[in-house]
Structure 1
Amino acid sequence: MMQRFKAALLQRRNNLHIHSLRFLNQFHTRNLCSLPDTAITDELDNQVLVEGKAWSRTAILNRPSVLNCLSTAMGARLQKLYTSWENNPDIGFVAMKGSGRAFCAGGDIVTLYHMINAGKMEDCKEFFRTLYTYIYILGTYLKPHVALLNGITMGGGAGVSIPGMFRVATDKTVFATPETLIGFHPDAGASFFLSHLPGHLGEYLGLTGQKLNGAEMISCGLATHYAHSSKLDLIEEQLGKLDTDDPSVIETSLEKCSDLVYLDNISVLHRIEILDKCFSHDTVEEIIDALESETSKTNDAWCISTLRRLKEASPLGLKVSLKSIREGRFQTLDQCLIREYRMSLQGISNQVSRDFCEGVRARMVDKDLAPKWNPPSLEQVSKDMVEHYFSPLSKSEPDLELPTELREAFT
């Protein structure tokens, strides 16, 4: 891997620099020209801070009051920073962390909810375009990347970190992809990384939105290293002293600060056999039937809680999410992102259902925790409804355009 990254960097740096800057200049001109200069500065500079070291740069997600939820401005700034750093021969590697008690709780879905209700669909599209394009850049990055996943790491927060080379989880890390509980689907590249987890763990996480801790993340491969949160300052100090672009040197530095991992007795990873047995089925209905069968035989607490979560989720969201994760198993990261972009626009268009807005309203706005899903049951979710999420956008609406011709595919 190290040799491939270095060779690609040497061969393509000049060409990538010219074309990536052209791509980003067109992007920023199109999307930011309507904002006042002061607003642009505030949005782009303050929501993502930069910490510079001799041979590295750290991007700091800086919206602690909303758990560092991702905005369009953050996606745009991350694109610009990462492209600049990738093309700078004096920067060997890049890191990312969050301010406060979260790494990143995902996309700013409350703002997205208000934009949809205000009819600002172009702004919604820009949100997904900026976020997904950054994730693709990270997934194909030519330099080592270290994400410090201390605290809440959910939804889009996983998307902006897991495609990178190194992910450090801690005792405070809480991972989840809870999109079905708000009438949506695991996005931001989640259909790619969930589908590549051991067995059918990805289906379980994607459908139920259940949480994993740091020890579980490294045990299943979502994280590459684990360290107690008290060691983060030491990890950052050691990384800051490195004068390298060699992944093996960074690996060694992280290993020195890493701790042994011990799974709790109640961890879902101890139940991987029954999980695979239930979540390997072709349909959501069959998955639920299998869980109910196990429950009737064993009265197992995990089966009971899993069934409860599935029954709280959007029926349409469950079926769309299962199909998405299954397709992700046979696609590259860019293919998943392009498909998820299409699915996301279909999901917020309200053409088939208003489940996304209803889910956000119930959980994040009114907080009554009583969403009225439409359709209200799995039986009423037709195949055509599900297929609509995967169907091409209108002739006037292009698919997500990623700079794939400039970068090596992430598989």
Structure 2
Amino acid sequence: MTDDVLTRTDGPIGHISLNRPKALHALTLDMCHKMSAALTEWADDDAIEAVMLDHAQGRGFCAGGDIAMLRDSALNDGGKRAREFFHDEYRLNHQLFTYAKPVVAFMDGITMGGGVGIALPAKFRVATENTRFAMPETGIGLFPDVGGGWHLSRLGGRLGQFLALTGARLDGPETVWAGLATHYVPSDMLEDIKARIVERPGRISGILSEPVGTPPRARIEENALKIAKHFASDDYETILASLEKAADDGDDWAQKERDTLGTKSPQTCKVALRQLEKGREFDDFADNMRMEYRIASRVIERPDFAEGVRAVIVDKSGDPKWNPSSPEGVSEELLDSIFAPLPDGEEWTPLN
């Protein structure tokens, strides 16, 4: 067995490398604890000026969380282990968001779900030609958590709502255009970049900006106006109707996105829209994470999650039977119950 998280110091740099390649570095509870412990230690170490976060080997950066464990928990222990995982994973997200020293996240490869949660809080977020960024949770009856309510709601042009609902994948240039990544660096230059950061940790921004000029064109920009138009509402049925009308008028893009939404959980699509609507109102990231923990605690016990994972990941049959089966069946009362405060003593609390 090898360590699934490698932590070390290199001069003035604390270095965290995810090392679970067979699972595309998907996060386990133990991995979250190891990362959090290293960050806590370095926070009080005056010799450490910055932190680098990457993956050690194979395709990366991080494909998400431990979905198999979460489903097993949902089916067999009433979601107890799942809630423990979400609670401490969200603590790690918050710890990174509030970290006093600069963090550089190298999103060189698949960056989805839990990987987004540890990358987006970083001050410097580096995309490459290998980056594949997505929040695909609505396709498995989950929702874009790990800070999605904060990060996605603050993107321009309703792009966050589009990503949350459709689970669309962005490449490296697209993440820079969207503001999700701060820099674009060709992957073959990363090792040199990391070495230069070790030598001059006070010049991270300049070092990351020097290798290339403008990234390649962001393809999603071509559809930005359509995204802003059709995903303008916080009402899911209104979005679907807008896409439906455009599809009937012969818009192939609208038809494709309408069909994509037809595969998603109506419940968690509505959850995601309310999550982003409320998330953009928060002034404190901790308030967002408290909201998301409430949602996660409820959604994990709802039938769509176990069913979505079965259909998409376990059986790979692609035939989830959602409950409720239609957007109209997802009532405001159901949403209210998912977002409601938890009982005393069960709310999420930050690490510090």
Alignment TM class, shorter chain as reference:
over 0.9
Q: Which residue of 2 aligns with 1:85?
A: 42
The reply on whether 1:389 has 2:343 as its aligned counterpart is: no
Equivalent position of 1:357 in the other structure: 306
- The residue that corresponds to 2:9 in the other structure is 52
State the distance in 1 between where 2:32 and 2:272 align: 24
How far off is 1:259 after superposition?
A: 4.4
Q: Of the candidates 208, 211, 219, which is equivalent to residue 169 of structure 2?
A: 211
Displacement after TM superposition at 1:309 (Å): 1.0
Q: Which residue of 2 aligns with 1:283?
A: 235
Q: 1:218 Cα shift? A: 0.6
- 1:329 is aligned to 280
Q: 1:70 aligns with which of 14, 27, 30?
A: 27
Residue of structure 2 equivalent to 1:271: 223
Q: Does 1:189 align with 2:147?
A: yes
> Are the aligned partners of 2:234 and 2:274 in contact in 1 as well (CA < 8 Å)?
no
In the alignment, the residues of structure 2 paired with residue 314 and residue 220 of structure 1 have an alpha-carbon distance, to the nearest angstrom, of 25
Contact 2:96 2:121 in 1 (8 A): yes
Tell me which structure has the larger Cα radius of gyration: 1
- Give the 3-state SS of the residue equivalent to 2:133 in structure 1: strand
Output aligned runs, 1:131-280, within 5 Å: 131-242=89-200, 244=201, 246=202, 249-264=203-218, 267-280=219-232
Identify the residue that residue 368 of structure 1 maps to in structure 2.
Answer: 317
| CA distance in 2: counterparts of 1:105 and 1:185, whole angstroms | 15
Greater mean deviation of Cα atoms: 111-120 or 85-94: 111-120
Which whole-Å CA distance do the structure 1 matches of 2:187 and 2:8 have between them?
19
Q: Distance in 1 between matches of 2:208 and 2:258?
A: 39
1:310 equivalent to 2:310? Answer no
Deviates more, 1:45-54 or 1:60-69: 45-54
Deviations 1:298-354 (A, max 9, x none): x2222111111111000111111110011111113111111000100001123xxx1
For 1:183, the aligned partner's letter is: G
Secondary structure of the residue aligned to 1:199 is helix
Aligned partner letter, 1:84: E
Q: Distance in 1 between matches of 2:258 and 2:165?
A: 11
- Aligned match of 1:31: none
Shift of 1:279: 0.8
Tell me by how many angstroms 1:369 deviates: 1.0
Quote the Cα distance in structure 2 between the aligned partners of 1:392 and 1:255.
Answer: 44
Contact kept? 2:105, 2:126, Cα under 8 Å: yes
Distance 2:9 2:212 in 1: 24
SS at match of 1:376: coil
Q: TM-score, normalised by structure 1?
A: 0.83
Is 2:349 aligned against 1:401?
A: yes
Shift of 1:59: 0.3
Out of 224, 244, 247, the position equivalent to 1:292 is 244
The one-letter amino acid of 2:251's match is D
Cα RMSD, aligned residues only: 1.4
Task: Structure 1: state its 5+ residue gaps.
Answer: 1-41, 407-411
Whether the aligned pair in 2 keeps the contact of 1:175 and 1:211 (CA below 8 Å) is yes
Equivalent position amino acid for 1:295 in 2: A
The one-letter code matched in structure 2 to 1:278 is H
Contact 1:227 1:259 (C-alpha < 8 Å) held by counterparts = no
Give structure 2 stretches of 5+ with no counterpart: none
Aligned residues of 1:225 and 1:258 also touching (Cα < 8 A)? no
Tell me the alpha carbon deviations over residues 219-277 of structure 1, each in whole angstroms, 9 at most, x when there is no partner: 111000001111112111212222x4x3xx1101111224421225xx22222222111
CA distance in 1, matches of 2:71, 2:166: 22
May I ask how many residue pairs the two structures share in their alignment? 350
Aligned with 1:378 (options 322, 327, 346) = 327
Q: Decide whether the 8 Å contact of 1:200 with 1:276 is kept in 2.
A: yes
CA distance in 2, matches of 1:144, 1:258: 22
Residue 262 of structure 2: SS of its match in structure 1?
Answer: helix
* Cα separation, partners in 2 of 1:262 and 1:382, compared to 1, 3 Å: same
For residues 337-388 of structure 1, give each alpha carbon's deviation from its aligned partner in whole angstroms, at most 9, with x where no partner exists.
11000100001123xxx10111111111111111110011111111111111
Match of 2:156, SS state, is coil
Aligned residues of 2:246 and 2:255 also touching (Cα < 8 A): no
Q: How high is the sequence identity, in percent, across the aligned residues?
A: 36
| Aligned partner letter, 1:402 | P
CA distance in 1, matches of 2:233, 2:87: 33
